[in-house]
C-alpha cells in the first residue's frame, strides 16, 4: 500500500511585482529606490519624449522624475526593496512617501504590461502544477500534494523548480511558502523574501508561527489587532493560549472560533481551481478634491472613463452583471455606496453609466469628493447569459468598447 500523502499547499507571491516589471524596461534602476503609483503625469510623458531616439534601458538615471515635491492624492502600488528601507510601502500616500524617501524615482503603473506578465507566470505554473488558485495579479495558491516533487523536502524541490522556471522565462523573482494549508503557506511565503522558499510543517507551529505578531494571520486587520492588543494579546502564541469560550465571548461565535483555529494553524479551505469573481470594479482617487457642481465636466469625464473601464474588464473576462453600484469618498474621508439591480444582464458602458448615474442621484453631493468608483456585481458569464436570456436585447450584451462609443454624444452630466 502506498504511503498516505501529506497535504502540501504552496503560496507563491511575486516579489515587488509592479516595480519588478518596470525594472525589466528600465534595468538601469535596479538597486535604486523606485516607487510605483499614481497615474501618468506630464513628467512621465516628457521623459519619454526627451529620449524618444534611445532605448528605454539607456535613459540616464538622473533624468527620471523623483518623488521629491510630489503633490496630489496618488497612492503607492508597490516599491522596490531599496525604497522600503526608508519606510515607504504599498497603500501609502505618495505625499507621505515623498517626505520619507524624496530621492526615490516615481513611475506610473502600466496595467497592460502588468496583466501580460501576470498571465505569463501563471501559465508557467499551470504547466508544472495544474491545481492552482488565482488570488490576484501577483499571487496564487498551488496544491503540491500529488504533483511530482511536491512531497520531496516538504515541497522545496517543486517550489524551486517553479521559482527557477518563472525566472528563466520572465526574469522575475518570486517567493514561495509551502505548508499543510493555505493559512500557514501565506505566512511562510513572507519568511524569506525576496526570491526565497520557506517550508513549514505542523510540528513547526510553536517555533515558526507562534512568535509572530497576530497581524501576520491573513484576516486579522487593524481593528481586530487593536482589540487583541487591548486584551494583552500581541503574538499568535498568546492568542493560541486563550480558551475557545473566552475568544467567543470577546469576538462573537464565528470570529472567536476562527481566531482559535487560526492560532493553532488549522485551515481546511481547499485550493479553488475555478474562482468566480463576485464583482468587477474600477475606482480612482483624485489629485485634488472635486466639487460636483464646480468640477462637473471633469467629474463627468472621469465617471464615463470608469464606466468604460469596467465595461472593458467585463468584456475581457467574459462576464455581464445585473447590479450596478457607485462608491464615493468625501473630503472628510467618509465613504458611501449605492447600487441598483436591473432586470436584464448588462455589460456595455452606456447602460452601466446610465444606471450608475441613477445611483448618484440618491447621494447628496454637497461635499467635495476625493474618490469615485463604479462596480458591477451579480455576475454571470456572457455565454450563459446569452443562452438563458434569449429575449434580452442584444445591445445590453454588447462588449464595452463597442457600446461606449455612443456615450460621447451624451451630455457629460455628473448627476
Give the pLDDT confidence of 345-375 residue by residue, as tens digits: 999 999 999 999 999 999 999 999 999 999 9
The CATH H-level (homologous superfamily) assignment of domain 212-263 is 5' to 3' exonuclease, C-terminal subdomain (1.10.150.20)
What is the architecture, at CATH level 2, of domain 279-409? 2-Layer Sandwich (3.30)
Cα dihedral sign for 46, 49, 53, 57? positive
**CATH class of residue range 17-109:** alpha beta
- pLDDT tens by residue, 250-298: 999 999 999 999 999 999 999 988 767 789 999 998 888 999 888 999 9
The pLDDT value given to residue 412: 40
Any residues with CB less than 8 A from the CB of 348 and at least 6 apart, and which?
311, 395, 396, 397, 398, 399, 400, 402, 403, 404
pLDDT band at 77 (very low <50, low <70, confident <90, very high): confident
Nearest to 176 by CA among 213, 207, 139: 139
What CATH number has the domain spanning 9-15+113-205? Answer: 3.30.70.270
With residue 10 as reference, give the H or E element that holds it: strand 9-14
Cell of 65: 522624475
Would you call 139 a catalytic residue per the annotation?
yes
Q: How many CB atoms lie within 10 A of CB 220?
A: 21
- pLDDT tens by residue, 111-152: 888 889 999 999 999 999 999 999 888 999 999 999 988 999
Average pLDDT of the chain is 88
- Of the listed 133, 139, 190, 202, which one is catalytic? 139
Any residues with CB less than 8 A from the CB of 168 and at least 6 apart, and which?
none
Judged against a pLDDT cut of 90, whether residue 186 lies above it is answered with yes
Helix (H, G, I), strand (E, B) or coil at 158: helix
Q: How far apart are CA 165 and CA 173, in angstroms?
A: 10
- How is the chain split into domains, by residue range? 9-15+113-205, 17-109, 212-263, 279-409
Nearest to 212 by CA among 251, 194, 186, 231: 186
**What is the pTM for the complete model shown?**
0.71
Cell of 118: 501576470
Amino acid at each position: 500500500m502506498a504511503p498516505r500523502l501529506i497535504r502540501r499547499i504552496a503560496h507563491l507571491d511575486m516579489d515587488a511585482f509592479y516595480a519588478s516589471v518596470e525594472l525589466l524596461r528600465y534595468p538601469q534602476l535596479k538597486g535604486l529606490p523606485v516607487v510605483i503609483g499614481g497615474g501618468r503625469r506630464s513628467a512621465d510623458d516628457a521623459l519619454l519624449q526627451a529620449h524618444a531616439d534611445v532605448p528605454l534601458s539607456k535613459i540616464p538615471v538622473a533624468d527620471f522624475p523623483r518623488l521629491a515635491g510630489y503633490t496630489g492624492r496618488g497612492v503607492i502600488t508597490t516599491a522596490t526593496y531599496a525604497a522600503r528601507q526608508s519606510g515607504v510601502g504599498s497603500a501609502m500616500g505618495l505625499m507621505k512617501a515623498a517626505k520619507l524617501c524624496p530621492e526615490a524615482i516615481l513611475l506610473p503603473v502600466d496595467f497592460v504590461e502588468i496583466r501580460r506578465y501576470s498571465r505569463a507566470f501563471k501559465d508557467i505554473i499551470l504547466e508544472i502544477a495544474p491545481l492552482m488558485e488565482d488570488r490576484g495579479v501577483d499571487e496564487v495558491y498551488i496544491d503540491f500534494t500529488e504533483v511530482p516533487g511536491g512531497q520531496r523536502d516538504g515541497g522545496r524541490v517543486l517550489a524551486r523548480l517553479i521559482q527557477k522556471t518563472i525566472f528563466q522565462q520572465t526574469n522575475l523573482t518570486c517567493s514561495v511558502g509551502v505548508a499543510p494549508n493555505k493559512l500557514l503557506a501565506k505566512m511562510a511565503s513572507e519568511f524569506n523574501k525576496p526570491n526565497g522558499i520557506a517550508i513549514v510543517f505542523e510540528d513547526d507551529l510553536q517555533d515558526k508561527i507562534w512568535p509572530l505578531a497576530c497581524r501576520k494571520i491573513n484576516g486579522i486587520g487593524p481593528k481586530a489587532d487593536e482589540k487583541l492588543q487591548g486584551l494583552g494579546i500581541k503574538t499568535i502564541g498568546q492568542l493560541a493560549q486563550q480558551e475557545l469560550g473566552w475568544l467567543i465571548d470577546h469576538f462573537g461565535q464565528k470570529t472567536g472560533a476562527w481566531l482559535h483555529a487560526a492560532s493553532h494553524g488549522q485551515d481546511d479551505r481547499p485550493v479553488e481551481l475555478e474562482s468566480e469573481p463576485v464583482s468587477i470594479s474600477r475606482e480612482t482617487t483624485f489629485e485634488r478634491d472635486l466639487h460636483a457642481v464646480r468640477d462637473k465636466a471633469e467629474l463627468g469625464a472621469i465617471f464615463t472613463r470608469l464606466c468604460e473601464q469596467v465595461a472593458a474588464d467585463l468584456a475581457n473576462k467574459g462576464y455581464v452583471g445585473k447590479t450596478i453600484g457607485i462608491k464615493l469618498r468625501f473630503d472628510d474621508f467618509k465613504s458611501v455606496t449605492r447600487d441598483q439591480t436591473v432586470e436584464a444582464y448588462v455589460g456595455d458602458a452606456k447602460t452601466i453609466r446610465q444606471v450608475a448615474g441613477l445611483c448618484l442621484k440618491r447621494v447628496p453631493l454637497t461635499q467635495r469628493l476625493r474618490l469615485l468608483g463604479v462596480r458591477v456585481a451579480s455576475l454571470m458569464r456572457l455565454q450563459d447569459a446569452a443562452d438563458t436570456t434569449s429575449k434580452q436585447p442584444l445591445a445590453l450584451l454588447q462588449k464595452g468598447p463597442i457600446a461606449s462609443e455612443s456615450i460621447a454624444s451624451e451630455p457629460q452630466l455628473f448627476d
